[in-house]
């Protein structure tokens, strides 16, 4: 008998069967056909063919213009496309088969360049610079300027003759991508406007890993999180301009967290004149110079819960002489430092675990194997309002050194555990030279600006 219940049951059964058949049919479609179902342009239908050795720049440019005019995405099938000197339109959504769709730079200028674009989205593509030289005007293999909304996702960028990815006035996100073999930096961003650089691998670049810069000191707000940065050189030399895994310059309100950074010629993470900075939860291994650095004209730096294993210096929050002040250095592990660095160091030399100077608290850190000083507080008269408390310093040349030069400001050194310091637990210094006996051995430091109390020495 046919009633309402049996009718509904039968209809549901046909629906399930139809859905299953639809899924099976979709699963059997090629990548191009699936892209077509999503409304993408099939690049091959407009004369762009993978796997040919001919330069396809002209056909590729027409394809991009057509996609912009129709405001629809473009799908590139697997294969190699040799192109040069492409100017991206205002709206572009270009995708391919991850690891298999290769866009190779043919030379004589640039690969991709954008200027004043609304929306650019690149996903599942390999961009290969083939180590070819680029025009003087080009900043990177992908040179994207004034982009209102940018997405680079699940791409590979390799073999650039300059920066891998060069951004100017960009907002959006760079994520899940591999950038390697750049002759300059892997990712270079200047004057960002809300940028997230997340979950990428940046490796084997000649001068820098991830750079977040501004032309003038101002709020930037870039988040650099969860990236892996390794094997970064300093081919262009200098004393810190190059060779850094992650570098912020004049960029305020930047967050650098949860990154794994190793084998950088200078710093794993270096911030210059960057205020309201957070560097947290990073693992920094085998840095050639200072592993984590906040320097020069900054106000506000929180450096917490990082691991530094292997460096010339561990963590520095310094340059009060240039206005650098206001910091928190807490919960870090710093170990296995060296007295050797990439250049001849100014006094006092390399081998310092943690250095701080002004309006800063250094607490609850563990420093081990710092051959020069476990902790350095102030430099000459450049010392003001520093508290060092609750730290463990083990196996250091000197446990803690503190400036006793005329004009040095307040410092409190209390409740620290100092174990195995060869040249004393707490020593007052005049610049790089010891000026006191061990200050933990007397009830008073003898200096009005300095309090040393309740430290345990063994």
Q: Residue 437 falls within a domain, yes or no?
A: yes
Q: Residue 451 falls within a domain, yes or no?
A: yes
| pLDDT tens by residue, the chain, 458 residues | 344 444 334 434 433 333 333 343 333 434 434 443 356 788 887 778 888 778 899 999 999 999 999 999 999 999 999 999 999 999 999 999 999 999 999 999 999 999 999 999 999 999 999 999 999 999 999 999 999 999 999 999 999 999 999 999 999 999 999 999 999 999 999 999 999 999 999 999 999 999 999 999 999 999 999 999 999 999 999 999 999 999 999 999 999 999 999 999 999 999 999 999 999 999 999 999 999 999 999 999 999 999 999 999 999 999 999 999 999 999 999 999 999 999 999 999 999 999 999 999 999 999 999 999 999 999 999 999 999 999 999 999 999 999 999 999 999 999 999 999 999 999 999 999 999 999 999 878 899 999 999 999 99
Q: For residue 458, what pLDDT is reported?
A: 97
Q: Residue 239 falls within a domain, yes or no?
A: no
Q: Residue 358 falls within a domain, yes or no?
A: yes
Q: Residue 383 falls within a domain, yes or no?
A: yes
Name the residue among 170, 227, 219 with its Cα closest to residue 198: 227
Q: For residue 39, what pLDDT is reported?
A: 67
- Indicate the pTM of the whole model: 0.91
Q: Residue 453 falls within a domain, yes or no?
A: yes
Name the residue among 235, 232, 226 with its Cα closest to residue 203: 232
Q: Residue 341 falls within a domain, yes or no?
A: no
Range of the domain at 367: 353-458
Cis peptide before 210 (omega within 30 of 0): no
Q: For residue 52, what pLDDT is reported?
A: 79
Number of domains present in the structure of the chain: 1
Q: Residue 292 falls within a domain, yes or no?
A: no
Q: For residue 41, what pLDDT is reported?
A: 82
């Amino acid at each position: 008998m046919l009633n309402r219940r049996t009718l509904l049951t039968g209809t549901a059964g046909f629906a399930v069967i139809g859905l299953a058949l639809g899924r099976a049919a979709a699963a059997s479609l090629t990548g191009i056909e699936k892209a077509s179902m999503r409304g993408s342009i099939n690049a091959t239908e407009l004369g762009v063919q993978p796997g040919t050795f001919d330069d396809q720049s002209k056909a590729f440019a027409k394809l991009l213009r057509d996609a912009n005019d129709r405001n629809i995405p473009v799908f590139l099938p697997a294969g190699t496309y040799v192109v040069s000197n492409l100017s991206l339109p205002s709206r572009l959504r270009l995708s391919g088969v991850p690891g298999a769709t290769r866009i190779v730079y043919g030379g004589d200028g640039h690969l991709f360049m954008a200027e004043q674009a609304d929306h650019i989205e690149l996903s599942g593509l390999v961009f290969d610079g083939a180590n070819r030289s680029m025009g003087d005007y080009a900043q990177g293999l992908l040179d994207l300027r004034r982009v209102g909304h940018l997405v680079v996702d699940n791409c590979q960028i390799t073999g650039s003759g300059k920066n891998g990815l060069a951004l100017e006035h960009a907002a959006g996100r760079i994520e899940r991508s591999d950038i390697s073999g750049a002759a300059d930096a892997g990712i270079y961003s200047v004057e960002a406007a809300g940028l997230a650089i997340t979950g990428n691998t940046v490796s084997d670049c000649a001068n820098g890993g991830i750079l977040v810069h501004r032309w003038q000191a101002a709020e930037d707000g870039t988040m650099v999180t969860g990236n892996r940065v390794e094997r970064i050189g300093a081919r262009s030399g200098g004393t810190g301009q190059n060779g850094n895994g992650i570098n912020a310059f004049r960029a305020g309100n930047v967050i650098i967290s949860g990154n794994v950074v190793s084998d950088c010629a200078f710093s794993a993470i270096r911030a210059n004149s960057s205020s309201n900075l957070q560097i947290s939860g990073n693992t920094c291994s085998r840095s050639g110079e200072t592993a984590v650095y906040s320097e020069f004209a900054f106000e506000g730096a929180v450096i917490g819960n990082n691991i530094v294993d292997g460096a010339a210096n561990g963590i520095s929050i310094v340059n009060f002489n240039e206005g650098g002040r206001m910091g928190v250095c807490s919960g870090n592990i710093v170990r296995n430092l060296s007295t050797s660095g990439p250049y001849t160091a100014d006094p006092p030399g390399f081998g310092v675990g943690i250095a701080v100077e002004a309006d800063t608290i250094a607490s609850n850190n563990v420093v081990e194997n710092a051959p020069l000083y476990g902790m350095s507080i102030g430099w000459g008269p450049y010392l003001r309002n520093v508290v060092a408390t609750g730290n463990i310093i083990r196996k250091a040349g000197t446990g803690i050194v503190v400036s006793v030069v005329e004009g040095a400001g307040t410092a409190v050194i209390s409740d620290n555990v100092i174990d195995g310091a060869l040249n004393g637990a707490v020593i007052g210094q005049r610049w790089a030279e010891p000026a006191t006996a061990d200050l933990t051995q007397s009830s008073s430091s003898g200096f009005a600006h300095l309090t040393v109390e309740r430290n345990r020495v063994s």
